Amino acid sequence: MNEALIIPKEIRRIAKEKGYMIIAHNYQVSELQEIADIVGDSLQLAVHATKIKTEKILFLGVDFMAEMIKVLNAEKKIIVPERSASCPMAVSLSRDEIAEAKKNHEAPFVAYVNSTLETKAMADVVCTSANAVEVVSLLDDTTVLFGPDKNLASYVREKTGKNVIPIPGESGYCYVHDRVCLDEILRIKEQHPNALIMAHPEVPESIRGESDFVGSTSQMEEFPKRSNRDEFIVVTEIGMVERLKKAHPGRKFFAVESMICTDMKLNTVQNTFCAVSEERWEIAVSEELAKEARRAIDRMFDLMESARVEK
Query: What average pLDDT is seen over the chain?
Result: 95
Q: What percent of the chain has pLDDT over 70?
A: 98
pLDDT digits (tens, 9 = 90+) for 59-98: 999 999 999 999 999 999 999 999 999 999 999 999 999 9
Within 10 angstroms of residue 217's Cβ, the number of other Cβ atoms is 26
Domain residue ranges of the chain, discontinuous segments joined by +: 3-84+264-280, 90-174+289-310, 180-255
Residue 311 has pLDDT above 80, yes or no: no
Within 10 angstroms of residue 178's Cβ, the number of other Cβ atoms is 16
pLDDT digits (tens, 9 = 90+) for 181-206: 999 999 999 999 999 999 999 999 99
Asked whether the beta carbons of 18 and 45 are under 8 A apart, the reply is no
pLDDT digits (tens, 9 = 90+) for 148-193: 999 999 999 999 999 999 999 999 999 999 999 999 999 999 999 9
Residue 1 has pLDDT above 50, yes or no: no
Mention every residue, 6+ apart, whose C-beta is less than 8 A from residue 31. 4, 8, 269
What CATH number matches the domain at 3-84+264-280, 3.40.50.10320, 3.40.50.10800, 3.40.50.720, 3.40.50.300? 3.40.50.10800
Residue 293 has pLDDT above 70, yes or no: yes
> Is domain 90-174+289-310 in CATH 3.40.50.10800, yes or no?
yes
Task: Confirm whether 3-84+264-280 and 90-174+289-310 share one CATH topology.
Answer: yes
Q: Which of these ranges, 44-58, 200-214, 229-243, has the smallest mean pLDDT? A: 44-58
**Bridge partners, residue 179, by sequence:** none
**CATH topology (fold) of 180-255:** Rossmann fold (3.40.50)
Q: Give this prediction's pTM.
A: 0.94
Q: What is the mean pLDDT of residues 195-219?
A: 97
